[in-house]
Structure 1
Amino acid sequence: MTRTNYGPGPVAVLGLGTMGTGLASRLLAQGIQVRVWNRTPERTEPLARAGAVAVGRPSEAAEGTSAVICTVADGEALGAVLRGPDGVLARGTYSGALICASTVAPEEIVRLAGDVPSVMDVGMLGNRDHARDGELRLFVGGEERVFTAGRPLLELLGKEVVHLGALGSGMRMKLLLNLLMGIEVQAMAEAAELAAATGLDKQLVLRTIAGSGFASPVMSFKSRRLATGRFDEPDFRLRLMAKDLMLATEQAAAAGLRLPLTAAAAHTHTRAAEQGFGDEDCAAVTRAVAPEPGTHT
């Protein structure tokens, strides 16, 4: 698919974490003009060497583009890049597709969008490699006509693109998916720590789990991190998983639901983040499960 399928202008990517960098790389590889911004400018340098235009403000990144993709960490950061003094919407509306792919509360998306009609919220399922290779699964909320106009660009970024309904729907789906991931990875970490504490070979147990019918693909993938104990160069930071699990519990409370497993996982991830593991991969939740040094079983 070529650039002419969705519009003549370049695309801005705001926020160059794992997913933002992957998306910008994908666009560059497809011959799209890309403008990039990140709160810490040094993250723009590899993409600038690859052909992107690095700028100093979100509003500057958006100038002359047909689409803006926001992939910042949380609601506060998204509010700043959209509505802050240097934000995309600081001087009024934006005429292109405004794609919010940051995982935030659905109500936050609606509030930040205000009366801007071109906003879509996109829940992304996949990792950095999927983002770079156009293999994401994308779940979209927003007006039907806005989705239809933006779909060619989304199909450039993902192998599956699903319109779920009104604005906020993409975030609701993303929170459900991360809820499952957080619980599954914590459950596997607990099983591995119990194995080690009771005399079983932890590596053998993790291989067994990964090759069993009990394991989801994400568990098989994360089992390798648990086996090696390497949580640097994260696929998804633990503090972001803690945030998303807390958002899911808040959504449940607002709907009058009790989600005991989600609440427990949110507590464990929050504790691990408070212990200093927030910028490690989310599989580092095992640190909050492992026995304290010197503990005997």
Structure 2
Amino acid sequence: MTGTVNGPVAVLGLGTMGAGLAARLLEQGVPVRVWNRDPRRTAPLAEAGAHVADHPADAVAGTSAALCVVSDGEALGAVLHGPHGVLADGPYPGVLVCASTVAPDEVTQIAGDAPSVLDVGMLGNRDHARDGELRLFAGGDKRVFDAARPLLETLGKEVVHLGALGSGMRMKLLLNLLMGIEVQALAEATELAGACGLDRQLVLKTVAGSGFASPVMAFKSRRLASGRFDEPDFRLRLMAKDLMLASKQAATVGLSLPLATAAAETHVRATEQGLGDQDCAAVTRALVPKPETDT
């Protein structure tokens, strides 16, 4: 790190990534105040020394920075502006870090007149969050970024300022677009292999060890090989949301992205089939045709 984190930090939202970030800060000796809509998720962090708050405004009381790591724009708006929200009674005096993946323009709209806001796209999984190995891409005023740098460098091995507010979300959507397409391509290849009589396990092992495999494909190949999609690294419904956001961003600037559009449609269909809370690799189950029934 180039500096130290000054004062307690609030973590709002204790899903896969938020819980990892809070654990990392506690391990580094940073006082942490946490809040989660479902209070049952706060217990492990409370045992590790975190203060559990009753609502977001209570969580940020006396803190120098607040990390918002909730699932979507609606949840982020509620955390910031809802009853007992962070900004419900006026500006937050610390640095407000929006690490929830939302539409880039939505960050500006939700943040409103808050003076010190960054949007941060996080690249990595829960292990990276817990171990301080994330790659973090931030948008916002450079002075705010410089003030938050010690905190961000506690959480990530690479910290990059991209430009104006919304830039972090734009980078995050690009990265998730690539991951969504790659994982679906791997799932499609695997289903085709099985349908053609090839050994699925051998095919996945071959792909994972080949020059075609990105680290993500090698990682997700283990999910596909096991057929287990519980305890998700990244929920399928969140991937569907991000692919839709990327497609909408493309339409806004007049681009046609056929692969992104197709992947978004597949992930939305998989979510509608009840796979939304499983790992995004469960998209493979949306590729298998359902057996026909007699009428």
In the alignment, structure 2 segments of 5+ residues that lack a partner are none
1:279 correspondence with 2:265: no
Residue equivalent to 1:214: 212
The answer to whether the Cα contact below 8 Å between 1:237 and 1:281 also exists between their aligned partners in 2 is yes
Q: How many angstroms apart in 2 are the aligned matches of 1:114 and 1:37? A: 22
Shift of 1:242: 0.1
Shift of 1:291: 2.8
1:201 correspondence with 2:190: no
1:14 correspondence with 2:4: no
Residue equivalent to 2:95: 97
Number of aligned pairs?
293
Q: Secondary structure at the match of 2:137?
A: strand
The answer to whether the Cα contact below 8 Å between 2:5 and 2:30 also exists between their aligned partners in 1 is no
Matches within 5 A, 1:42-191: 42-191=40-189
Task: After superposing the two structures, state which structure 1 stretch, 286-295 or 199-208, moved more.
Answer: 286-295
Shift of 1:294: 6.5
TM (normalized to structure 1)? 0.97
Q: How many angstroms apart in 1 are the aligned matches of 2:291 and 2:115? A: 55
Q: Secondary structure at the match of 2:42?
A: helix
Q: How many angstroms apart in 1 are the aligned matches of 2:132 and 2:154? A: 6
Q: How many angstroms apart in 1 are the aligned matches of 2:148 and 2:244? A: 30
1:224 correspondence with 2:222: yes
Q: Secondary structure at the match of 2:223?
A: helix
Shift of 1:6: 3.0
Q: How many angstroms apart in 1 are the aligned matches of 2:70 and 2:263? A: 23
Q: How many angstroms apart in 1 are the aligned matches of 2:84 and 2:218? A: 42
Q: C-alpha offsets along residues 224-270 of structure 1, whole Å, 9 cap, x if unaligned?
A: 00001000000000000000000000000000000000000000000
Q: Secondary structure at the match of 1:267?
A: helix
1:5 correspondence with 2:4: yes
The answer to whether the Cα contact below 8 Å between 1:22 and 1:129 also exists between their aligned partners in 2 is yes
Q: How many angstroms apart in 2 are the aligned matches of 1:42 and 1:208? A: 41
TM (normalized to structure 2)? 0.98
The answer to whether the Cα contact below 8 Å between 1:6 and 1:149 also exists between their aligned partners in 2 is no
Q: How many angstroms apart in 2 are the aligned matches of 1:293 and 1:94? A: 55
Give the root-mean-square deviation of aligned CA atoms: 1.2
In the alignment, structure 1 segments of 5+ residues that lack a partner are none
The answer to whether the Cα contact below 8 Å between 2:35 and 2:52 also exists between their aligned partners in 1 is yes
Shift of 1:276: 0.3
The answer to whether the Cα contact below 8 Å between 1:252 and 1:258 also exists between their aligned partners in 2 is yes
Q: C-alpha offsets along residues 8-36 of structure 1, whole Å, 9 cap, x if unaligned?
A: x2000000000000000000000110000
**How many percent identity over aligned positions?**
76
Q: C-alpha offsets along residues 96-155 of structure 1, whole Å, 9 cap, x if unaligned?
A: 010000000001101111121200000000000000000000000000100000001000
**Which of 233, 237, 240 matches 1:239?**
237
Q: How many angstroms apart in 1 are the aligned matches of 2:210 and 2:290? A: 30
Change (3 A) 1:150 1:114: same
Q: How many angstroms apart in 2 are the aligned matches of 1:91 and 1:240? A: 30
Q: How many angstroms apart in 1 are the aligned matches of 2:249 and 2:21? A: 28
User: Aligned letter for 2:189?
Assistant: A
Q: How many angstroms apart in 2 are the aligned matches of 1:173 and 1:240? A: 16
Q: Secondary structure at the match of 1:222?
A: helix
The answer to whether the Cα contact below 8 Å between 2:60 and 2:86 also exists between their aligned partners in 1 is yes
The answer to whether the Cα contact below 8 Å between 2:72 and 2:102 also exists between their aligned partners in 1 is yes
Q: How many angstroms apart in 2 are the aligned matches of 1:103 and 1:70? A: 10
